[in-house]
Structure formats: C-alpha cells, structure tokens
C-alpha cells in the first residue's frame, strides 16, 4: 500500500507526537509507544529505512518464509501489530491514519486508482463487523480506492491452535455474516455500507468430502479452497442479485507458485487472477486463459524478488499473444522504492521490454477492465461502450488505443474461437512430398 519511506516518516511522527499513547498489551503489561521502543533499545533518531528492514532483497528469492518476516518493521512483530494491524489495542487507529495519508497521495496523483487488500481470516464471525467498524470509524473512503478482501489459507494453523474444529468453521465465519447482511441489512449496519465490495481471495498454494468432514490437521488443497469459496460466492451473488445489490467477484492469487493444477482450478471458477506466471509452463492452460480472456494482473517486480528473474517473466510473451494482461503492484512496502509504485512497474516494464506508448495504453485499458470499480467509473474512464468487444467498445479519445490494434486483437481472437468451436482449421492447399515437407505457401511466410 505504501513504500518504506512513508512508513518511516509515520512511525517517527507518532513516536515524537504520541509517545505516551498506550498501544499494546504484552506479558501482562500495557505498554506505551515510548516504552515499546525502549524495550527494543531504539529511538526515533536511530530509525532509518535500512533499520526498518522491510524491503525485499536477494535473501527472499525462493524464500517466502523470509519474505513474510519483512512485514515486521525492524524485525519486530509488535511493531507490525501496532502500526500495520486494524484489530489491535488501539482499534487500528495508526493504520487508519497511515491509510488516509496514502489516500491523499492517490487523490493528488489524480489519474491513479488502487485496490487495497485486507484480510478476513475466518477465525470468528465478528471479523467482518470489526473490519467494517474500522473502515467507518476512520472514514476510510476514497473515490480512488476499492477494498479487496483476501482469505489466507491458514486452516492448519487455526486447527492446531484449537480455534476451529473443521474447515466448515472457517467457511461459516467468512460467509454467514455476508448472507445475514444481505437478508437483513439491519443485522450488520456498518457492513451494509460495503456495497462496492470485491472479493479477492489470497489463496497461495482433494479429497471428496464435505467441509464438516475435514477435521484433520492438514491444510486442504488449493482446489478445495477455491471450490468452496466459489460455491458459496455463487449462492451469495444470486441472493444479492435478487435484492438488487452488487455482486462480489472472485479474484484469487494463482500461478505465482505451487502446482499447475492451481491455474486449472481458477480457470473454472474465477473472474480474474493475480500473477499467473506459471502459465508459461502449460501451453494448454495458457491457450484456455487466452480464449476465455480471463484477466491476469501481473506484478513482475514482485515476482523478481520472490520467484522469477525479471528477464524471464512471461508478461511480454503473454501480451504479444493477446492474453488479457495488466500490470499491478504487489506488496509495495516490500518491493517498491518510491511513492509511485505503479509508475515504477510501468516505467521499468516499458524500458526493459521496449513497450510502445500504444502498448502501455492497451495494458492500462486492460487494468480498468479487470478492476473492481463501478460500471459508471469505468464508463467515465474508457468510454460508455467499454464492455463491447472490438472497436465498437474502444473510445480512442479516452483510451488512446488505436482502433487498428483493437481490430487486430479481435480478429485473431475470433479466428481462434472459430477453430475451436467449428473445427475450421487452416489447411495448406499444396503439400510438397519431397524435401523439407513444407508447402510453397509455408516457405513464403
């Protein structure tokens, strides 16, 4: 959501202005912000970006465990709880204030929008009300921002801790409040305000049984999570549609790490996905994602720090082949260095892969398609007919994408769909029996 320098300035400011604020309860004692830093043998003068140590480096490559430690400023989980959590002793006030600063920067940039992720863990049903209260009490509304809910796959941890007894408990804690507020808006008045809610399940990495029967200590397979999230969302969205409410999209993380099967599961269930770099390993799935035009929000700089060298990233290949790809940030606090993380993504991609202005405009147009913003805003940004295929849906005065580019994409896609559905493959008229086996027409290409 923000780069390290913003976090550093905010922490120093709070330490200077509110040193006596009681911020945490540890080991049977309430501690003020000043006492927390004294226990860590730190002062505001000592703090700098290097000491904060939240930026990913070469030590995190293929080491997601080490990357997760970067969420802890100065390597201290208590600082993460104080400054980066919304369900803490101070009800997330510091995180709310920091978020409003980021909102202000977005508004100043004018042409940048964001989808910020926040977690619902499924430990208890009250999580939704706590999160909605945090949004309302801190006035965290912005025309530039849509909130995305991520669902971490942590069943095995909660089972071991005794928080849940079966996988069904987690699903109930996640979805029952959403069904309740849809049927009876008065049951969760603050949650009702999230009419723009977009679901983005953060499923990073089966047996045929009901969730009530999944009571062992092992984490269910990725496809198991995906299926039950999809099934519950499908029913919930039908109910919301019947009441004239907005529906919730399912946009999981998939294809960054783990098995190829993850991408097969999300192909069958998802509106869009984040990452998808493992499609490079499966031409068949890559082709299916192309035909279905399932959106891929790709983050090459994040991949470069964790899983895949920048020069090996398949983004330019996917883009040339016509997959519905866009550029996005992922974990700016750990990955990016400036207050313009999205500009970093675009500028580096344009420089390394030699993308033209037409390419960048097409990628930006794709990002609007994939986003969770309202139909009205999308119409304002890229044209009233944006949802139509081909040149009819391209308002060149708003998108800056030439009609000939859109016509080319549409013609190729229709040819591929025709071959799949009608079997109308292009067969050479002449076949050379001797030599290299290519026809004259083939050699002339």
Question: Which residues are annotated binding-site positions?
Answer: 66-71, 253, 256, 330-334
Beta strands in 179-239 (DSSP E): 198-199
How far apart (Å, rounded) are the C-alpha atoms in residues 146 and 200? Answer: 11
Residues sharing a CB contact under 8 Å with residue 13, sequence separation 6 or more, in sequence order: none
Residues sharing a CB contact under 8 Å with residue 386, sequence separation 6 or more, in sequence order: 368, 369, 378, 379, 393, 395
How far apart (Å, rounded) are the C-alpha atoms in residues 324 and 120? Answer: 28
Cβ 296 vs Cβ 289: under 8 Å: yes
Locate 130 and state its tokens. Answer: 């706590």
How far apart (Å, rounded) are the C-alpha atoms in residues 61 and 340? Answer: 24
Q: Which amino acids are annotated as binding site for substrate, given as ranges?
A: 66-71, 256, 331-334
DSSP 50-61: HHH--S--GGGT
Residue in 110, 64, 91 with CA at minimum distance from that of residue 205: 64
Question: How many other β-carbons are positioned within 10 Å of the β-carbon of residue 303?
Answer: 22
Question: How many other β-carbons are positioned within 10 Å of the β-carbon of residue 272?
Answer: 23
Active-site choice (275, 336, 375, 380): 275
Q: What's the DSSP call for residue 30?
A: E
Residue length of the chain: 445
How far apart (Å, rounded) are the C-alpha atoms in residues 128 and 49? Answer: 34
What pairing do the DSSP bridges indicate for beta strands 295-298 and 325-327?
parallel
Question: How many other β-carbons are positioned within 10 Å of the β-carbon of residue 278?
Answer: 21
CA 154-310-269 angle, to 5 degrees, is 40
Q: Which amino acids are annotated as binding site for Zn(2+), given as ranges?
A: 253, 330
CA distances from 104 to 1, 226, 346 (A): 12, 35, 22
Q: What's the DSSP call for residue 136?
A: H
Cβ 314 vs Cβ 284: under 8 Å: no
Q: Alpha-carbon Rg of the chain, whole angstroms?
A: 24
Residue in 58, 95, 55 with CA at minimum distance from that of residue 72: 55
- Catalytic, 275? Answer yes
Element spanning 115, H or E: strand 114-119
What 3-state class would DSSP assign to 253?
strand
Residues marked as catalytic = 275
């Amino acid at each position: 959501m923000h780069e390290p320098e913003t976090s550093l300035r905010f922490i120093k400011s709070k330490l200077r202005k509110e040193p006596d604020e009681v911020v945490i309860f540890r080991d049977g004692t309430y501690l003020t912000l000043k006492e927390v830093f004294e226990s860590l043998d730190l002062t505001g003068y000592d703090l700098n970006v290097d000491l904060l140590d939240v930026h990913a480096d070469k030590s995190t490559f293929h080491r997601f465990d080490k990357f997760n430690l970067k969420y802890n400023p100065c390597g201290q989980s208590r600082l993460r709880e104080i400054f980066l959590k919304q369900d803490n002793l101070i009800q997330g006030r510091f995180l709310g204030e920091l978020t409003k600063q980021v909102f202000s920067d977005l508004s100043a940039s004018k042409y940048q929008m964001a989808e910020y992720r926040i977690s619902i863990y499924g430990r208890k049903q009250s999580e939704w009300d706590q999160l909605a209260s945090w949004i309302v009490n801190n006035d965290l509304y912005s025309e530039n921002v849509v909130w995305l809910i991520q669902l971490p796959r942590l069943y095995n941890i909660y089972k071991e801790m005794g928080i849940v007894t079966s996988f069904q408990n987690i699903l109930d804690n996640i979805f029952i409040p959403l069904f309740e507020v849809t049927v009876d808006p008065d049951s969760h008045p603050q949650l009702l305000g999230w009419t723009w809610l977009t679901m983005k399940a953060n499923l990073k990495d089966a047996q045929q049984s009901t969730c009530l029967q999944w009571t062992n200590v092992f984490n269910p397979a990725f496809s198991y999570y995906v299926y039950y999230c999809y099934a519950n969302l499908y029913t919930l969205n039908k109910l919301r549609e019947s009441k004239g409410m907005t529906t919730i999209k399912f946009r999981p993380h998939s294809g960054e790490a783990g098995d190829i099967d993850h991408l097969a599961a999300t192909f069958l269930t998802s509106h869009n996905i984040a990452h998808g770099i493992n499609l490079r390993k499966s031409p068949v799935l890559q082709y299916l994602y192309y035909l279905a035009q399932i959106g891929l929000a790709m983050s090459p700089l994040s991949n470069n720090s964790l899983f895949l060298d920048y020069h090996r990233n398949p983004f330019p290949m996917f883009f040339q082949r016509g997959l519905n790809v866009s550029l996005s940030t992922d974990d700016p606090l750990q990955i990016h260095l400036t207050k313009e993380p999205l500009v970093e993504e675009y500028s580096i991609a344009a420089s390394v892969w030699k993308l033209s202005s037409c390419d960048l405009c097409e990628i930006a147009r794709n990002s609007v398609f994939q986003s969770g913003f309202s139909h009205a805003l999308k119409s304002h940004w890229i044209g009233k007919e944006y949802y139509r295929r081909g040149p009819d849906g391209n308002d060149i005065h708003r998108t800056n994408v030439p009609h000939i580019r859109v016509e080319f994409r549409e013609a190729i896609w229709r040819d591929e769909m025709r071959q799949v559905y009608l079997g109308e493959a292009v067969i050479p008229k002449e076949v050379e029996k001797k030599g290299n086996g290519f026809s004259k027409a083939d050699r002339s290409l």
